[in-house]
Structure 1
Amino acid sequence: MEPTEIAIIGVTLLAFAAVSRRLDSSPLTMPMVFVATGAAMSALNIVEVGAEIEAVGLLAEITLAVILFSDATRLSLPRIRRFIAIPGRLLGIGLPLTILAGALVNHLLFDDWPWAQALLLAAVLAPTDAALGSAVLSNESVPTRDRLALNVESGLNDGLVVPVVAICTSLLLESSRSTASWIGFVAQQIGFGAFAGALVGFGGIGILRRARSAGWSDARYEQIATFALPVVAFCGSAALGGNGFIAAFSAGLAFGSGGLRRRIRSDEPDMAGPEEAEHLAEFTEDAAELLGAVTFFVFGNLFVGDALGEFSPAVIIAALASLTIVRMIPVAIALSGSGLDTAAKGFIGWFGPRGLASIVFGILLLEELEERSETADQLVGVISLTVTLSVFLHGATAAYGARRYGAHSAHVEPMHEPVAMPRMRGGRQPQP
């Protein structure tokens, strides 16, 4: 990118930061601002990132690795296991059903697609992004149980779909593999990825803890070193032949869950492992937010600026279905028998916005499938339209929907159990 183009992104970041608190109470969100700015820069021929697709692809890979690590670190397993029932249903039942339903709808709408491509699109659009509905997570009138469910689901589902995305992408690009070769490939991608990630995560927090205990390290550099861990996990796994995204996700889980309760120094309070890991990962979380903002700008510039008005009816129907029936029906099925009423199921089903993970997968697919046929253009078109609609529809309805649902819940469930909410991406800590 040219210096002028980079400067425009920087000015947009500065302008948004200057008014960000004022925008908290408005329906205007950070993703809306950066997607719209990127699209406008493309439409006016001021900034064009499409010519630098390899650099954009590298940015997308690093962004997703950092986000996966950051999300997994904040949602450490020891902290959430007491409250995993509803998120467990969403991830264990709702997520697979969403992918299967999406694949079926895609196959019906695009009957010339191979099943691998229909399944790939469904997996790319399955992850949710809590940052797009931050007004929901920060609204105290919404039961903490539901905010926690949405937060935990969005933090974990992008990592869980990575194997499906990786396998389906390889099926499209390397259809000549034998069955035995595919079994070995899948085992290598998941096994080496998880191993490399766990090694980096446990090793990273162990080294940092011991260095601090010995008085050798400075807190500033501890946080910078933490930011390097997802990059190390991603690249190290790739060198071993594993999947780098699985490695980054596993590293975050290991880093966030791998501490024993102990005193770091005599002049510091006793700190549990997950709290310590969250503190060390604060810079990484801020970096993920910055990379996310840039990614939304790139998405608007690369996918939205020249595409509006060019979508076929099948692409439009697929995008609308992904945001409604493909998400909401599986959620309702997953939450059957959970004790939640119809309003709660509808609320959780609607606020499953598509955001950064889908964007990053889309950018990588654009790079991988650049030379392929019209079906690849349809796939990328569905991704771009779904995310664009989600950014604006979910962002605009989050505050209003949270107020209405909170008022409903106050009559149905006047007492809510206090729960310590994990930090969400974006820096605002929702309160129980």
Structure 2
Amino acid sequence: MPGSLLLSFAVLLLIGMLISERASRTVISTAVLFLLGGFLLGDGVLDVIPLASGDPVVETLAELALFSVLFTDGMKVGFRDLRTAWHLPGRALLLGLPLTLVITAALAHFVVGLPWLESFLLGAVLAPTDPVFASAIVGREEVPPRLRHLLNVESGVNDGLALPIVLVLLAAAGGTEAGGWQLTEEILLGIAVGVLVPLVVLRLERLPFLKAQDNLQPLLTVSMGLLVLAICTATHANLFLAAFAAGITVASYGPEFRHEFEQFGELLTELLKLAAILVFGALITPAFLFQEIPLAGWVFAVLALTAARPLALWVSFLRSGLPRNQQVAAMWFGPKGFASVVYGILVLESGIGAADELFHLIALVIFLSILAHSSTDVVVAKKLDERESRPL
């Protein structure tokens, strides 16, 4: 990591932590801080962080961050969790996610004029959500439990569901060397590695003469993740699906490790996320936003924020019994999934013909989304709290 990037990250992290308590009660957000920090420190403004799209640190950091996100996301959704409370998240994932993808693709085709293949790739990249950016919603007990559970499970699963679609569409567009059976092999091998490695480690840990010390149990979970990452790197298995499968396997067959790893894992993932957001912001210049994106791109971005997910979830929640104000809150908090940040970088690095145009649109949607959603999460949480506390 270049010295200027490391110094910038350290300073922004210190500022973010010092204002975090106040930020939790206001519209200030650490995600916004790092995004704007990257934007201001990048090329075109202060030129402190000299990064370009082809810089190895961009792709490496993005891959590590997404691996960590998918691993920790998988641990939020063990098989038991999915069986016991699947009603609303199932609607959002099995109906809402595909509809969001299709509506976003239609907007890209008819508003921007992209070909259908690239439009669906754009829709797949922007479909996942990540309410970790809206922590005031999923982290406050005042918010109705059904809504918190819905957003938690949805965000934990939709990155993994969207990933195979992104990979297949990217391969179809010529963005990967793997195609057809080779891509299928990489995906299946990744899932197999993600399932088998944790199962073997958990079985070993339960042997009478092998036992992790209590205070070191989080590191045992980290070692599983690192082993999965190393094996996938050596065998060219898909490391993202391996990470997601490994997280689900740990949650399902070693729930005590999920509990021990939870705080440590969230902090590690948050660090990598913020670093990736800083890099993402540094790739966005004033010229990028205001000269290189046409008016149609801005219209698409606004519609992607205000129409695609709201319309998809409105259909998904018909006759669900979820109160209207909670439906609206769930509809609003998208499409700024962190996975979309990394998928956007992967598209940019893929070298497909429309890579630059797609990245511009992805970056604009996420840029506006982080600004809009991360600055309204506290307001929406307070409104929900007031509504729930209102006497009947």
TM-score w.r.t. the length of structure 2 is 0.91
- Supply the AA of the counterpart residue of 1:195: A
- Of 76, 79, 86, 1:77 maps to 79
Which deviations, in whole Å up to 9, do the C-alpha atoms of 1:401-426 show, x marking residues without a partner? 122233334459x7xxxxxxxxxxxx
What is the Cα deviation at residue 319 of structure 1?
A: 1.3
Question: Structure 1 residues 187 and 2 mapped into 2: Cα distance closer, same or farther (>3 Å)?
Answer: closer
Instruction: Give the letter aligned to residue 56 of structure 1.
Output: V
- How far off is 1:239 after superposition? 4.3
Determine the structure 2 residue equivalent to 1:429. Answer: none
Task: Go from structure 1 to structure 2 and tell me whether the alpha carbon gap of 1:4 and 1:149 turns closer, same or farther (over 3 Å shift).
Answer: same
Cα distance between partner residues in 1 of 2:377 and 2:26: 10
Letter of the structure 2 residue corresponding to residue 398 of structure 1: D
Query: Counterpart of 2:96 in structure 1: which amino acid?
Result: G
User: Does residue 385 of the first structure (1) align with residue 364 of the second (2)?
Assistant: yes
Residue 33 (1) aligns with residue 33 (2): yes
Match for 1:172: what amino acid?
Answer: A
* 1:385-407, Cα deviation, whole Å (9 max, x unpaired): 11111111111111111222333
Q: Does 1:9 align with 2:9?
A: yes
The corresponding residue for 1:106 is 108
- Structure 1 residue runs without a partner (length 5+): 260-273, 415-432
Deviation per CA, 1:180-235, whole angstroms, max 9, x where unpaired?
x73x345324322211110122223333454xx64653345442342243343244
**Following TM superposition, by how much is the alpha carbon of 1:276 offset from its aligned partner in structure 2, in angstroms?**
3.2
Matched residue type, 2:218: Q
Q: Deviations over 1:266-313 (max 9, x none)?
A: xxxxxxxx2432213542322111101111111111135552312211
Q: Does 1:318 align with 2:297?
A: no
SS in 2 for 1:142: coil
Residue type at the aligned position of 1:23: A
Q: Which amino acid aligns with 1:352?
A: G
Match for residue 204 of structure 2 among 176, 199, 207: 207
Q: State the alpha-carbon separation in 2 of the partners of residues 407 and 194 from structure 1.
A: 44
1:289 aligns with 2:282: no
User: What SS does structure 2 have at the residue aligned with 1:45?
Assistant: coil
Most deviating of 305-314 and 94-103: 305-314
AA of the residue aligned to 1:289: E
CA distance in 2, matches of 1:245, 1:322: 26
Match of 1:252 in 2: 247
Provide the secondary structure at the position in 1 that maps to 2:329: helix
Aligned to 2:99: 97
Question: Residue 329 in 1 paired to residue 311 in 2?
Answer: yes
Secondary structure in 2 aligned to 1:173?
coil
Residue of structure 1 in register with 2:324 after alignment? 342
Question: In the aligned structure 2, how far is the partner of 1:242 from the partner of 1:202?
Answer: 18
- C-alpha deviations, 1:370-389, integer Å up to 9, x for none? xx54x322210111111111
Extract unaligned runs of 5+ from structure 2. Answer: none
Q: Tell me by how many angstroms 1:20 deviates.
A: 1.4
Q: CA deviation at 1:341?
A: 3.4
* Number of residues of Structure 1 aligned to a counterpart in Structure 2: 389
In structure 2, relative to structure 1, the CA distance for the partners of 1:199 and 1:305 (3 Å cut) is: farther
Identity of aligned residues (%): 31
Which string of whole-angstrom CA distances, capped at 9 and with x for unpartnered residues, describes residues 118-140 of structure 1? 11110110110111111112333
Do the aligned residues in 1 keep the contact of 2:125 with 2:344 (CA within 8 Å)? yes
Instruction: State the superposition RMSD in angstroms.
Output: 2.4
Residues in 1 aligned to 2:93 and 2:216: alpha-carbon distance in whole angstroms = 35
What TM-score do you get using the length of structure 1 for normalisation?
A: 0.83
